[in-house]
Chain A
Amino acid sequence: MAYAYLFKYIIIGDTGVGKSCLLLQFTDKRFQPVHDLTIGVEFGARMITIDGKQIKLQIWDTAGQESFRSITRSYYRGAAGALLVYDITRRDTFNHLTTWLEDARQHSNSNMVIMLIGNKSDLESRREVKKEEGEAFAREHGLIFMETSAKTASNVEEAFINTAKEIYEKIQEGVFDINNEANGIKIGPQHGATNATHAGNQGGQQAGGGCC
């Protein structure tokens, strides 16, 4: 499928904060959130449009690989954006943010856009972390912030897309060296090539918002 840019994202945060659910929720609309089903995936991709440009987001969940230093390190380095997720109903996941952030800052490209996400905003009654706290943390560390719910799909779209917008802006400003794929950004395969349009037709028709 033709795209102008491809952005690679990673999702980080404690286990159980709903990273893979967020990922699935964003990348595949066909899986509709239902109360008695928790479903996630570790990899997903989706096309979005920013500024009239087709941009493909490729999102990698890093869950389960934290025990290997080399792996986390490499992941951070290869990503243009990171979603740092905590669970608003579990204070400890919020408390661990600093560690995650330190890790991210240490290993990543300094231009990496990090978005802070307080997930499970649907569980208002069990909330342990106030929205203001999340905002304050984000402000203090220069992150974008948003509360989302993978269950109700609230703000999920925005979270990913706003991150992409920020990356896109940085590209426009010339901050990212887009010719260097190590940044987690790739330029699309020959713009407007014929086979690309062909593939586009095929996919557009079928992919009810889906996996492509």
Chain B
Amino acid sequence: MFGRSRSWVGGGHGKSSRNIHSLDHLKYLYHVLTKNTTVTEQNRNLLVETIRSITEILIWGDQNDSSVFDFFLEKNMFVFFLNILRQKSGRYVCVQLLQTLNILFENISHETSLYYLLSNNYVNSIIVHKFDFSDEEIMAYYISFLKTLSLKLNNHTVHFFYNEHTNDFALYTEAIKFFNHPESMVRIAVRTITLNVYKVDNQAMLHYIRDKTAVPYFSNLVWFIGSHVIELDNCVQTDEEHRNRGKLSDLVAEHLDHLHYLNDILIINCEFLNDVLTDHLLNRLFLPLYVYSLENHGKGGERPKISLPVSLYLLSQVFLIIHHAPLVNSLAEVILNGDLSEMYAKAEQDVQRSSAKPSIRCFVKPPETLERSLEMNKHKGKRRVQKRPNYKNVGEEEDEEKGPTEDAQEDAEKAKGTEGGPAGVKTSGESEEIEMVIMERSKLSELAACSSVQEQNTTDEEKSAAATSSESVQWSRPFLDMVYHALDSPDDDYHALFVLCLLYAMSHNKAPGTQEPSVPGSKGNSVRLTDHHPRTALHPLPRPCTPCPPPAGSALLTPAAGRTPVEVLSSALKQSRVTFAPENTPYLVRLPAISVSYEITNQGMDPEKLERIQLPVPNVAEKTTYNHLLAERLIRIMNNAAQPDGKIRLATLELSCLLLKQQVLTASGCILKDVHLACLEGAREESVHLVRHFYKGEEIFLDMFEDEYRSMTMKPMNVEYLMMDASILLPPTGTPLTGIDFVKRLPCGDVEKTRRAIRVFFMLRCLSLQLRGEPETQLPLTREEDLIKTDDVLDLNNSDLIACTVVTKDGGMAQRFLAVDIYQMSLVEPDVSRLGWGVVKFAGLLQDMQVTGVEDDSRALNITVHKPASSPHSRPFPILQATFVFSDHIRCIIAKQRLAKGRIQARRMKMQRIAALLDLPIQPTTEVLGFGLGSSSSTQHLPFRFYDQGRRGSSDPTVQRSVFASVDKVPGFAVAQCINQHSSPSLSSPSPPSASGSPSGSTGHCDSGGASSSSTPSATQSPADAPTSPEQPQPHLPDQLVIVNEIADSKPSKSSARGAEVETAHLSPSLLPAQQPTISLLSEDAADSLSVESLTLVPPVDPHSLHTLAGIPGPPVPAAGCTATPDEEAACAEH
């Protein structure tokens, strides 16, 4: 047996593998180990293979034979590993050992096995072993090993790693030393390990972590993040021509990674860790570096600063990602209500006090490396130093001394010991700790209501500083002012976009799940500033959130009484608006500027405005006011965007619309003041004018119009994604060469300007409609649900069909009937179960179709139908590419004409609808419909009509199809009637303009009617500024088309004032053509015989609907439509 095994070890013969996995083989390997306790050049390979094989057998044993593991335990074989490791045996052996350990811990399934492996501290010895970490492979295996171990951590196993008596937690402390390792995968692993550790709910361990490691780790982490931010800022500052974008986007992604990591820690919701972390983030990073950079009154001096856009951008990210209530509340509170005295006071402090009083709120390098801090910690662990403890002294001068950090921790620990409970962190009464807003717990709760509010944010020093500072008397909010100011910039929207994002992010900041169950007394409005929206979703309406009674919605950490007035105060103070709790206003006067509690953030980061946006219930329900200041600025942006040379990017506009809606839409309707609404309508009008300027008959305009609508609706703005894009950090550019999304830059060239104008129009139109509570009825031009789709079953009894053979590109061949609808062409196959019905095998939009003849075959046509482009820049993708072969030349010509005409007509009709949307005069309808220009144009190619009774009738009952539905019910009937009544050509002749008031004329022009009538709704939508638009009394209108639509609107219930027009606008395009004359092209005498005489008008009108419309002069006359019914039967029969 040995022989065989040996040979396997040496060469690995496949055959012997059966025996490799056995207890015997393990025994043999044990033997090898005992013989080779010393690593030498000679036995190295043997040892490596032995160790590897042991791994394999152990895992096999774990899965198949427990005796294997018993042997391993019995012989204490783990010791051999350790022994080998300690001999500095070189990389090769190290890597093997680490791989073995990885595999062991990854694969072992039995708990007892795991416990054994972990006992005896062997594993900890390996963890602290000083590997050669400069070797990237060793590093990778090592950190993976730690990560694998961390995944095994739980309340039971944690004791194998954390030793309470010696205060050792090698797994954690060794791991965090690599938190800033240059290799990203290593950093990620470190983060994973820390998160896995924090997740374990073991009090002793967590206390250790907080007391002994949290400060060094977090302060270094925060410094690390901040350094990246400064680099990022440099990158923005030094950018030329967007050349730094690659690097910039990495730095931004890195920042996002950090924020997500911090958020993941906070979400674990380990309370005291969160306190320390929040403190560091706020006071060492977010406030001093981000927020204070908002204010640029020079005085900053040496403190590190970043530029305004970067700061706004990063703050938006913070609010979008981090939802830890104490953190975001405090941060928002400073931004919205903080004043300069706070900042300067602190700045002075920084200067004046050196290390005696630790600096407050500044972004400074930790005095020592994390590794060193941890070492010191360990050594000093047992010593009691009687020093002024302060665990936040990381900002001190390096040479001052190293001690304080540890001392502070010790002290904190001590304090915790005495106080116990969750209030642990704070305490020993040092005033400087009070600055840690969030840490205020039990202590503050005892304080008097009002004063407590003040205490929160200020240290003693600050308070005195504030007192002496004259500014504090005035209520100045430099940061908020800055934010507003940035919105005002007339030249471009570089800053405005960030401001909007920031406001959006603040107002959508939502605490996921149960965030702070452990906080005593926390409840209600204090904490969740949010409760609104899931991160990525956009909601037009603010929703009511968890109810929280205003007064009881107490402070997170302090009694409610202290808070509420302040909230009120802040809102009242804002010059503009209504205070909703006037009785509280006196408080305003008494409170110094900085004292507003952070809770306010709930209620109003900004006075009136944010109350609206995010205030939990009380206001949402009975919201009556909004922030006029902000609304006006938003509307100004919209106005600006609608100018021909407006410098507002689409993203900015979209965000403005969102924010405005958020502010003024309530459950019960829109509370926008008339004056603002009028301004907004003005902007909308401007946008209409702007598009008109670009409106051309060109084909491409229609395509762009529809493209833009699609891309706007399919990809609504996601602010979080927007703020992940580094490219917006650079000043807005107009060139597409940068590869920046169209919506995030300015347009370049006429095409893009057109697109932009269209998009602006859509957005403002949509906003306007929503604010009025009106539904969109005219867009999109083609609604998906109105189209014929593959597998629809249609009644073709009255349709004109042309038989053909469809040869697809890949050689497939099929017999089909070609039918041309008003907007679509379709290929149908007779339905076997019902005579005269057909199943749609393909349906494509005529407007996206191309038809060309085939050179050498006069009976064939090449037809391509493209899929509507999903994005403006994507290449058109053909959904059908085929050759249609007809039975003879004539049918081929007819088909070609029909298709070509159909295409033109479909496009024209859509253009007319656009014209209507833009309140443009309708073009002469004759042209569009091909009527009145002579028999050649009038007779041919009018779209064929067939009805899908089953689907249409039932699928969308709410839509105003009833007229046609009724037609649908008796398709044969209507046609028959027509034939009887008017075989005369006269019906086809009336030229629309002359036919005003004449029902027959009107029927002929239903499409233009749809278009023209649609202008009415747009007029009604803007009653304020559209006095020109005629409304109800249609009879007087020269435009008979409107009447048609009125008629068409048979929907009895809904046709209220605006109902009629709106409804018509709603009419699906494919339904409108009911009024279209149709011709059969398949009569026996073929094309030649096609003449006016063959036209028969189909009545578009449901008599009932006519009756419902009083005052409309149109008598229910059956309308045009033409068919030689026998023909299609013949056609069907033919095949």
Contacts and interface: CB of A to CB of B under 8 A. Distances in A.
Interface of A: 8, 20, 24, 28, 30-32, 34, 36-45, 58, 60, 64-65, 68-71, 73-75, 77-78, 177, 180-182, 202-203, 206-208, 211-212
A29 B52 CA distance: 12
Interface in B43-58: 44-45, 48-49, 52, 56
Contacts of B48: 206
A207 B21 CA distance: 22
B621 interface: no
B63 A37 contact: yes
User: For the side of the interface on B, what is the size category?
Assistant: 35 or more
A211 B96 contact: yes
B563 to A, nearest CB: 32
Contact of B107 (A39, A69, A203): A39
B266 to A, nearest CB: 11
B191 to A, nearest CB: 6
A180 B92 contact: no
B899 to A, nearest CB: 31
A64 to B, nearest CB: 5
A68 B189 CA distance: 12
Interface string B240-253: 00000011001001
Contact of A24 (B103, B253, B264): B103
A123 B1 CA distance: 33
Nearest to A202: B92
Contacts of B107: 38-40
A43 to B, nearest CB: 4
Interface string B157-194: 00000000000000000000000000011011001100
A77 B253 contact: yes
A91 to B, nearest CB: 25
Given A30-B12, A69-B260, A206-B48, A36 B60 contact: yes
Contacts of A78: 184-185, 188
A39 B59 contact: yes
B144 interface: yes
A4 to B, nearest CB: 15
Interface string B212-256: 000000000000000000000000000000000011001001101
A43 B102 contact: yes
B95 to A, nearest CB: 6
Contacts of A203: 92
Nearest to A189: B136
B260 A37 contact: no
Contacts of B151: 64-65
B99 interface: yes
A65 B63 contact: no
A153 B137 CA distance: 24
Nearest to A45: B137
Contact of B148 (A42, A180, A206): A42
A45 to B, nearest CB: 6
A80 to B, nearest CB: 12
A40 B106 contact: yes
A60 B263 contact: no
Give the top 10 A-B pairs by smallest Cβ distance, nearest first.
A70-B260, A43-B144, A70-B261, A78-B184, A182-B250, A74-B188, A70-B264, A37-B60, A68-B264, A64-B151
A180 B184 contact: no
Nearest to B135: A199
Contact of B246 (A74, A180, A207, A211): A180
Contacts of A69: 260, 263-264
Interface in B584-610: none
B140 A74 contact: no
A73 B260 CA distance: 9
A42 B144 contact: yes
Nearest to B251: A182
B92 A32 contact: no
B17 A34 contact: yes
A44 B185 CA distance: 13
29 contacts: A30-B49, A32-B12, A32-B17, A34-B21, A36-B63, A37-B59, A38-B59, A38-B107, A39-B56, A39-B59, A39-B60, A41-B102, A42-B102, A42-B148, A43-B141, A68-B192, A69-B264, A70-B191, A70-B195, A70-B257, A70-B263, A71-B191, A73-B260, A74-B260, A75-B185, A75-B188, A77-B253, A177-B246, A211-B96
For the residues of B in contact with A, the DSSP-based class is: helix
Contacts of A44: 99
Given A41-B106, A74-B257, 10 more contacts: A30-B49, A39-B107, A69-B264, A70-B191, A70-B263, A73-B257, A74-B191, A77-B184, A177-B246, A206-B92
A58 B191 CA distance: 19
Interface in B67-121: 92, 95-96, 99, 102-103, 106-107
A42 B105 CA distance: 10
A41 B52 contact: no
B64 interface: yes
B250 A180 contact: yes
A20 to B, nearest CB: 7
Given A8-B185, A43-B144, A64-B151, A182 B253 contact: yes
A36 B21 contact: yes
Given A70-B191, A70-B263, A180-B250, A42 B14 contact: no
Contacts of A73: 256-257, 260
B261 to A, nearest CB: 4
A41 B99 contact: yes
Contacts of A24: 103
Contacts of B63: 36-38
Given A58-B185, A71-B195, A180 B256 contact: no
B147 interface: yes
Contacts of A211: 95-96, 99
Nearest to B58: A39
A37 B106 contact: no
B195 A68 contact: yes
A69 to B, nearest CB: 5
Contacts of B60: 34, 36-37, 39
B45 A206 contact: yes
A32 B247 CA distance: 43
A207 B261 CA distance: 37
A71 B264 contact: yes
Contacts of A74: 184, 187-188, 191, 257, 260-261
The residue in B92, B191, B261, B264 that gathers the most chain A C-beta atoms within 10 A of its C-beta is: B92
Given A68-B195, A71-B192, A212-B137, A42 B21 contact: no
A159 B679 CA distance: 61
Contacts of A212: 95, 137
A76 B96 CA distance: 27
Contacts of A8: 185
B880 to A, nearest CB: 19
A38 B261 CA distance: 33
Nearest to B268: A68
A90 B890 CA distance: 57
B951 to A, nearest CB: 28
B701 to A, nearest CB: 32
A90 B593 CA distance: 62
A207 B141 CA distance: 16
Contacts of B141: 43
